[in-house]
Amino acid sequence: MDLNLKDKLFVVTGASSGFGKSTALALVNEGAHLIINARGEERLVAMAGEYPDQISYVEGDITTDAVISEIFRKLNGRFLDGIVINAGGPPAGSFLETEITDWDKAYESVLRWKVKIAKEALDVFLEQKYGRMIFIESVSVKQPVENLVLSNALRMAVVGMVKTLSQEVAAQGITANIIAPGYHDTSALDRLIKAKEKMGFSEDEARSIFEKATGVGYLGDPDDLGSLVAWMLSPKSKYITGQTLSIDGGVLKGVF
């Protein structure tokens, strides 16, 4: 299927690994141009070196205003077709284990920067009267995950924000949606595995627990999710906005 993404421009954050990298590669394979971001310049240089005509990058901590501003300066007046807003989550832990300072940090790392980058993107999209916004969050926004209280709480705030802004800009040709992944074979699963190890499970036993928690019996492939995000960024998704799409292999037990 031709997604009509050739020569279109997208921003992808958290692009050096996991869902961000899978999404970036899916877009590149469709002929798109990218501005990618992550911490750790070596992997960004490698990706840009592999696709020198399609990828440029901004290295740095996406939760900071300076890095967000640099990404949008790099547009240099070009038409921006869409943005993937993605980064790692806060540390694992139960409510009783957290301190109030952990909640302050979680606000900064999960919610605040996404409000900032969404506002920057909307300034561009409203002028264009077109844009796609995809937030990659977690299945925890629909079904809390054990030992992830900070993620469970703050990611739900992102959903409320995205749902509201999607209604405000829908008539302007702008869509905003959330992808809510379940257990996938990415480095993000490591923090859950480490939490299980603290409870006495081996690494293999912990991984098996998460595999068995899915209906299908195995972990998700981030490349599959990346292909879905590419479709969601395409003109073909124009009638979908304000939605939270769960990609979880059957982890969710609820109807919606």
Q: Give the alpha-carbon dihedral of 37, 39, 44, 46, to 10 degrees.
A: -160
Predicted confidence at residue 188, as pLDDT, reads: 78
Check residue 198 and give its pLDDT: 81
Rounded mean pLDDT of 162-179?
Answer: 98
How confident is the prediction for the chain on average, in pLDDT? Answer: 95
Give yes or no for a contact between 73 and 121, defined as CB atoms under 8 angstroms apart. no
Q: Is the pLDDT of residue 141 over 80?
A: yes
Say whether pLDDT at 189 is over 90: no
Whether pLDDT at 191 is above 90: no
| 35 has a pLDDT exceeding 80 | yes
235 Cβ contact list (under 8 Å, min separation 6): 4
Q: Answer whether residue 196 shows pLDDT above 90.
A: no
Phi, psi of 136 (to 5 degrees): -95, 110
pLDDT band at residue 142 using 50, 70 and 90 as cut-offs: very high
Residue 186, pLDDT score: 86
Domain boundaries, the chain: 9-182+221-246, 186-219
pLDDT reading at 256 higher than 80: no
Whole-model pTM: value is 0.94
Lowest mean pLDDT among 20-34, 161-175, 179-193: 179-193
Residue 5 pLDDT level (bands cut at 50, 70, 90): very high
Classified by CATH at the fold level, domain 9-182+221-246 comes out as: Rossmann fold (3.40.50)
Confidence category of residue 192, pLDDT binned at 50, 70, 90: confident
Calculate what percentage of the chain has a pLDDT beyond 70: 100
**Residues making up the chain, counted from first to last:** 256
β-pairing, 82-85 vs 55-59, is: unpaired
pLDDT at 174 over 80: yes
pLDDT digit string, tens, across residues 75-133? 999 999 999 999 988 998 999 999 999 999 999 999 999 999 999 999 999 999 999 99
Contact 186, 222 (CB under 8 A): yes
Collapsing DSSP states into helix, strand and coil, what is residue 106?
Answer: helix
For the beta sheet containing 82-85, the strands, ordered from the edge strand earlier in sequence to the opposite edge, are 55-59, 33-38, 9-13, 82-85, 131-136, 174-181, 244-247
Which helix (H) or strand (E) covers residue 35, if one does?
strand 33-38
What is the structure's pLDDT at 76? 95
Q: Is it the case that residue 1 has pLDDT exceeding 90?
A: no
What three-state secondary structure class fits 113?
Answer: helix
- pLDDT bin (cut points 50, 70, 90) of residue 27 is very high
